[in-house]
Structure 1
Amino acid sequence: MAGIRGIVDGPGFVALPNTLWDAAQHPTPSGPHWQQGVTWTDWCGGADTTYADECIAVTGTGGAAPAAPPLEPTAAGGVDRGATAFTVFAAFDCSLIGLPDVDQAAEALARSEAFQVSRAFWSGQAGGQATVWPHLAADSALDDPQGIRLQTAADTVLGAADDAAVVVGRLDQALAEQYGGEGVVHVPVAALATLKARSLIRKDDDEPGVLRTPGGHRIVAAAGYSGTGPDGSAPAAGAVWLYATGALFGFRSDVAVRDFPGTFDRATNTIHKMASRTYLFGWECAHLAALMTLGVPA
């Protein structure tokens, strides 16, 4: 409401970097049907070594010729994976004079959207219900009635709190062994200072603003990452859980605006509205967890 002081524009909102959406690949959807959930096939594992000729000469004394190479190599495990969508929203009072609805809706969502998205992806909770699959903090697998794997159980590589360098090294190693490609390490914001103090974060020279581990995996430090363990429990004071996954992909809708006609306020010439956007995330193969001690050791 206008008063004796002049009306000005407030400061512009600047989103934090390294969000979950930033770290995900964004394939082009064929239509809006992804909002009902998606299915894909992961091809993980199955690689091995062999030799081409069983007639290998063995030099020295006491040597024995090697056994014949395997006739059928181990097959890669094709696993049908699935993911579900969830919606974030923000309610606001919209002036009937001035900015278009979509501009005001985008402004309303911008303040909390990244936090709500990453919190749902970490915990699996949306609207107070466990409906977001897959999510990070999980200690059991879940298949749908068709046998499609919606959720994997995190493979805990370090269950007792350990030094940051040990934790990041173990996650880098496990991603290299289980995935082999560029993965994503999911870090609560509270852990960034510890990782920075130990020189465990490096900036990507080719992608400004992107953070990476010493092993080259991308770091996501999302506002809604709470640091809870695979069973959902909070760690002891001075420790946080980190997770690592294979490559991420994600879809998101345009901002949708819904108004509530019965809320029109004649005194302020505003109406109550809600802005929302739907998201979906999935990842490949690896799903790892490790408990890290915060702070710099003496």
Structure 2
Amino acid sequence: MAAGLRKYVEAIPGTPLPHGILNACTDVRDVDDVHELLGVEWMALGCCPVQVWRDPCLNDESLGDESPGAPVQKEFCRPSVEHAEPITVYAGSECSTMGWTYTEAREHAEASLELGEQQAVEAGFWSAKLAMTATDLTPAEGPVSIAQGVAALEGCLAEQYGGVGVLHVPAGAAALLGCCNLVQPDPATGSLRTLAGNCVIIGAGYSAMNTGPGNLPAEPGTAWLYITGPVVVRRGPTETVPDQPGASVNIRNNDRRVLVERTYVVATTCTVCAVQVTTCP
């Protein structure tokens, strides 16, 4: 059939992965305050350990006629100030003015952003935060099984934070979570949970990056997993550039360009741990 006889139809719609960073595992907040979208900082909560007090008067060694010495001092923790930087994601459409109107180009860019922004936010958060601040738990012998990796990560989070956190898994390794029943769906929230209760993000953007601490690429047949404290996502409104039809046209070649972008600030707290796992049996 000749190409000229084809009927023009609407584009095939898509749906972002259901367990990505903009879904049930995170607290997504739509904000209009430009100051929040420039980055945020806060006093960390939950990163200081709660200690067990042992009364020296009840210690057998303290009994007797001799002085027990200097009194036992309770420990104090100075909370740290944490921060998160902005991640701006965008989608642009370019076309001939003979083919698309400004409205059509804008709608195409908006639809592209809606479908792909989750993946872009995941890639930005992975490369700027996870891979740059993590403690590597991979043993000297090399990558471990995914069950061993999840166990090590959850142990790290439990020791350093103690609350419910988030396990970050590349989409390319997600199927392995089912091999040992590591993850179960939570009907109440629509999220995925480990047996320890941590929420699980399965990210397309994570899979695209798949780098270890320092953003070093994973070796073939391996993947990197991370774990963090809770994740809060601040999301700004979409912005269209340009916002008028005339400015979108390049008069030199009669092409039209429309850009739609949005700024996110993704924040987590207390600790980031990483481990390299094998993806091949």
Q: Same fold (TM over 0.5)?
A: yes
**Whole-Å Cα distance in 1 between the matches of residues 88 and 189 of structure 2?**
29
Q: Secondary structure at the match of 1:275?
A: strand
**What does 1:110-189 align with in structure 2 at a 5 Å threshold?**
110-124=114-128, 135-138=129-132, 153-159=133-139, 160-189=142-171
Offset at residue 54 of structure 1 (A) = 4.2
Distance change in 2, residues 1:281/1:57 (3 Å): closer
The residue type paired with residue 156 of structure 1 is: D
Letter in 2 for 1:38: V
Structure with more relative contact order (C-alpha pairs < 8 Å, separation 6 or more)? 2
Tell me the CA shift for residue 98 of structure 1: 5.9
Alignment length (residue pairs): 262
Q: Distance in 1 between matches of 2:71 and 2:149?
A: 37
Using the alignment, how far apart are the partners of 2:265 and 2:11 within structure 1? 32
- Percent identity of equivalent pairs: 27
Higher helix proportion: 2
1:72-117, CA deviations, whole angstroms, 9 ceiling, x for partnerless residues? 422234111111112111111473276594x433202134322221
Gaps (5+ residues) in structure 2? Answer: none
Task: Could you tell me which runs of 5 or more consecutive residues in structure 1 were left unpaired when the two chains were aligned.
Answer: 125-134, 139-152
Distance in 2 (CA, whole Å) between partners of 1:118 and 1:212 is 19
Separation (CA, whole Å) in 1 of partners of 2:70 and 2:151: 34
Which amino acid is 2:248 matched to?
P
Equivalent pair of 1:54/1:68 in contact (CA under 8 Å): no
Q: Of 190, 195, 200, which residue of structure 2 is paired with 1:219?
A: 200
> Alpha-carbon deviations, 1:235-292, whole Å to 9, x = none?
322111111110111111111111343336998xx73100111111111101101111
User: 1:43-95: per-residue Cα shift (whole Å, max 9, x none)?
Assistant: 312311014x544385xxxx764979965422234111111112111111473
- Where 2:110 maps in the other structure, the secondary structure is helix
Retained in 1: the 8 A contact 2:185–2:193?
yes
Aligned-residue RMSD, C-alpha: 2.9
Tell me the equivalent position of 1:244. Answer: 227
| Counterpart for residue 260 of structure 2 | 275
Aligned-partner Cα distance in 2 for 1:99–1:170: 50
Moved over 6 A (4+): 66-70, 264-267
Match of 2:269 among 266, 284, 289: 284
Aligned counterpart, 2:44: 42
Q: TM-score, normalised by structure 2?
A: 0.82
Q: Which of 181, 191, 196 matches 2:178?
A: 196
User: Which residue matches 2:80?
Assistant: 79
Matches within 5 A, 1:12-51: 12-22=13-23, 23-27=25-29, 29=31, 31-43=33-45, 44-51=47-54
Residues of 2 paired with 1:233 and 1:273: CA distance? 34
TM-superposed CA distance for 1:30, in Å, is 7.2
Q: Distance in 2 between matches of 1:69 and 1:212?
A: 48
Question: What one-letter code is carried by the residue in structure 1 that aligns with 2:186?
Answer: D
Q: Aligned partners of 2:116 and 2:14: how far apart in 1? A: 11
Deviations 1:26-52 (A, max 9, x none): 34647221122111011312311014x
